[in-house]
Amino acid sequence: MTRHAFRMQLKPGHVEEYRRRHDAIWPELAELLRDAGISNYSIFLDEETLALFAVLDLADDNRRDSLPDHPIMKRWWDHMAPLMEVEPGNRPREWPLTPLFYLA
């Protein structure tokens, strides 16, 4: 199991809608993420900069790299694209974060 962290960027004025959509995450998306080997997935907001910080655990045999091709993932990205900075194809822009400290 490895921990993965990255940053994304929310657009101004969309904090509550972002929260609402994640509070109502589609069951099929949650299942897809779990089946891909993702667990303990959290997203934090820096309210000053609107930066989103995501942390998740990846199983050793995870299939995270297959998610961009999955129709459910693509539909979720389309659903979220108006709220955040995205790449072509509506994949959220991600900036990897380098681990510096961990206390178990």
The set of catalytic residues is 22
Residue ranges of alpha helices (H) inside 41-97 are 71-80
CB 102 within 8 A of CB 5: no
Helices 15-23 and 71-80: crossing angle in degrees, nearest 10, is 150
